Amino acid sequence: QQQQQHQGLEQQTPFQHPLDADITSTGAPDTAGAKFATVVHSLQQRGVSQERGVALLFTLLAMGHENVSTAMSWTVFHLCRYAEVRNLVEAEIADVFGPAAADTTAASSRPPPDRARLLQMKNLSSVILESLRLYPPIPMLSRQFAKRDEKHATVGETLLRTSEEVLVCPYVTQRLPQEWDEPDQFRPERFVQDPSCAHAAKYFPFGAGPRRCPGREFAMIEVSTVASCLLQQYSVTLARPDTPAEALFISLRPAKFFVKLEPKASL
């Protein structure tokens, strides 16, 4: 029965997925399913198979939501805790988006946080990068060792055999004292002063190489968008000064912390 259902899916045209009904029936992508199908269509036109296209989108939507929300939480925590850093970011927002408005009508006329403007925000980016260094959403990565034409290889002093599982831990690597000055301290300026410190050999919160998370740029833009909008409209502080405990569920979340939001007077 499952084989018959699979064959039935393959016979659907022009797009071999039930979501395509949203497009063919309405003629326009007005639903979430239709938008999903439209993106898959676009990927197919670029040579990506339907199966891989659907898998990529579900990765972005499912794991992307989990990991981005985790990265967002740690970024907001650090912005709340470190007033000097927050002041730098707020000054940067004023430079990029314009100063705080004097009335509510002008506040809504600020330019949107599009990609071009967000890429100008080096201080905000450094806060996000440093938050990801200290608290990578996925603190441990698992890979299976494979090397063509050889049954084993040596990495450092370790002998790896084909099909052995290798665990790589960005949470540990990104805090190694031989690689990072004051590794346990929140110092976002390190990424402004020396952008090369984000080299994949020692900094890989999204993984590295061909299996790197495909949503890295999307995640950075999404966190930057939310953080910039938040700081434009609210003064943010911690309601309690304690550092939240780390809770590993799917990702490395903060267990709980409380933020005090006060609307800015100009808004």
Tens of pLDDT, residues 183-194 = 999 999 999 999
Mean pLDDT across the chain = 80
Average pLDDT over residues 82-110: 77
| Tokens at 47, concatenated | 């040579």
Average pLDDT over residues 137-150: 80
pLDDT at 108: 52
Statement: residue 8 has pLDDT above 60: no
pLDDT at 162: 81
| Tokens at 257, concatenated | 């912390």
Number of Cα atoms under 13 Å in the Cβ half of residue 248: 6
14 prior amide bond cis, ω within 30: yes
pLDDT at 50: 85
Higher pLDDT, 93 or 27: 93
pLDDT at 18: 37
Q: Can you tell me the distance from the alpha carbon of 40 to that of 247, in angstroms, rounded to the nearest whole number?
A: 35
34, 188 contact by CB (below 8 A) = no
Interacting residues of 240 by C-beta distance below 8 A, sequence separation 6+: 257, 258
Number of Cα atoms under 13 Å in the Cβ half of residue 75: 27
75, 227 contact by CB (below 8 A) = yes
Interacting residues of 206 by C-beta distance below 8 A, sequence separation 6+: 212, 213, 215, 216, 219
pLDDT at 38: 83
Q: How buried is residue 38: exposed, middle or buried, by Cβ count under 10 Å (0-12/13-18/19+)?
A: middle
Tens of pLDDT, residues 193-225 = 998 888 888 999 988 887 787 778 888 999 999
Tens of pLDDT, residues 37-86 = 888 888 888 888 888 888 877 777 776 778 889 999 999 999 999 999 99
Residue type, 189: E
- Residue 166's SS3 state is strand
pTM over 0.85: no
Residue in this structure with the two tokens 């259902």, named with its chain if needed: 5
